[in-house]
């Protein structure tokens, strides 16, 4: 089987895998959605192999994004006129574009109607890359080394990290109730040792706005929900280095395709939701 992590310039390798009928897993980013969709269409049409397309192999983060996507779909507009969101992301200085993860998450908050969000419900399902101009003035893209060090990014990870923080600010009693409902649902249904996405991670917490997920290996991955001094709700997730991605590839990504090969499945494309459901 093939495993391709090339960026958009190397996406064509996947077409070669299809041509030679080699099942593959693709983990690169920056590819235009229509290019990926065209290959998915070919896979489904030719029915010779299966192919996986996963943009984030860090299972807890991918699981969190899916969880919030589903929550937003079930609660469209719930934060409208009562909750604002503030989005901050920090990556290595060489990353010029905004975080795709932050854009995706802002789409979910946008669907919920959060104020100050660069995307709204109408953007859901759209090609968000075509709309990245909308992030300007809405995202705080942190690329400054000194600021990153002050935030707590370790010097060894300045060259490779992805930190995201979403601050939810209520401006009415209704907003407070909406945030609490959102936070309680996360604490109950996501921050739980029974969550398969969190297998191998430490899950702890004593209250709905005090929950934490950490990796065992030198805190390479963390997800926290907490309150700041002003009572705002904070959701943050950070990855330091590449090991969480490698773990996801080895523990779920490759087995997902191997399972498909063994079951002689052809003509199917696999995505993030399939990844987090691999036993």
Partner 1 sequence: MTEKTPIILAGVPGDMGSRLFDAIRSSQDFEIAELNVMGGVSPVALTGDSIRKQPIDDAFVR
In angstroms, give the least distance from the CB of 258 to partner 1.
6
| Rounded-to-integer distance, Cα 203 and Cα 63, Å | 14
Under the criterion CB under 8 A, does residue 241 sit at the interface with partner 1?
yes
- Pick the closer one to partner 1 by CB: 170 or 239: 239
- Pick the closer one to partner 1 by CB: 4 or 90: 4
Using CB under 8 A as the binding rule, the residues of this chain from 143 to 162 that contact partner 1 are 160
In angstroms, give the least distance from the CB of 233 to partner 1.
33
Using CB under 8 A as the binding rule, the residues of this chain from 51 to 110 that contact partner 1 are none
Using CB under 8 A as the binding rule, the residues of this chain from 3 to 32 that contact partner 1 are 3-7, 9-10, 12-13, 16-17, 20, 22, 24, 28
Residue (of 220, 94, 116, 218) closest to 168 by Cα position: 116
| Rounded-to-integer distance, Cα 108 and Cα 55, Å | 17
DSSP assignment string, 127-191: -GGGGGGGGTTTEEEE--HHHHHHHT--GGGTTSEEEEEEEEEE-SHHHHHHHHHHHHHHHHHTS
In angstroms, give the least distance from the CB of 151 to partner 1.
21
Backbone φ and ψ of 264, nearest 5° = 55, 40
In angstroms, give the least distance from the CB of 84 to partner 1.
36
**How far is Cα of residue 223 from the mean position of the Cα atoms in its chain?**
12
Q: Which residues bind partner 1 (CB under 8 A)?
A: 1-7, 9-10, 12-13, 16-17, 20, 22, 24, 28, 160, 241-243, 245-246, 249-250, 254-255, 258, 261
């Amino acid at each position: 089987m093939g495993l391709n992590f090339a960026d958009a310039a190397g996406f064509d390798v996947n077409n070669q895998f299809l041509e030679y009928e080699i099942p593959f897993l693709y983990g690169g980013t920056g590819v235009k959605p229509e290019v990926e969709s065209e290959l998915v269409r070919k896979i489904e049409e030719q029915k010779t192999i299966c192919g996986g397309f996963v943009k984030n192999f860090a299972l807890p983060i991918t699981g969190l994004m899916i969880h919030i996507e589903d929550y937003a779909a079930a609660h469209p507009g719930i934060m409208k006129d009562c909750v604002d969101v503030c989005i901050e992301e920090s990556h290595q200085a060489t990353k010029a574009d905004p975080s795709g993860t932050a854009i995706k998450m802002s789409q979910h908050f946008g669907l919920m109607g959060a104020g100050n969000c660069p995307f709204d419900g109408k953007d859901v399902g759209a090609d968000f890359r075509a709309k990245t101009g909308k992030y300007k003035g809405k995202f705080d893209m942190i690329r400054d080394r000194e600021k990153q060090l002050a935030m707590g990014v370790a010097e060894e990870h300045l060259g490779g990290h992805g930190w995201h923080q979403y601050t939810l600010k209520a401006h009415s009693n209704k907003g407070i109730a909406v945030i609490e409902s959102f936070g309680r649902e996360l604490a109950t249904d996501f921050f739980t040792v029974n969550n398969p996405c969190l297998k191998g991670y430490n899950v702890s917490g004593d209250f709905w706005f005090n929950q934490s997920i950490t990796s065992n290996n030198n805190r390479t991955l963390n997800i926290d929900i907490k309150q700041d001094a002003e009572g705002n709700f904070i959701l943050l997730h950070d990855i330091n280095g590449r090991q969480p991605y490698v773990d996801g590839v080895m523990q779920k990504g490759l087995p997902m395709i191997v399972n498909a090969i063994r079951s002689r499945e052809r003509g199917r494309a696999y995505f993030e939701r399939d990844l987090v459901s691999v036993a």
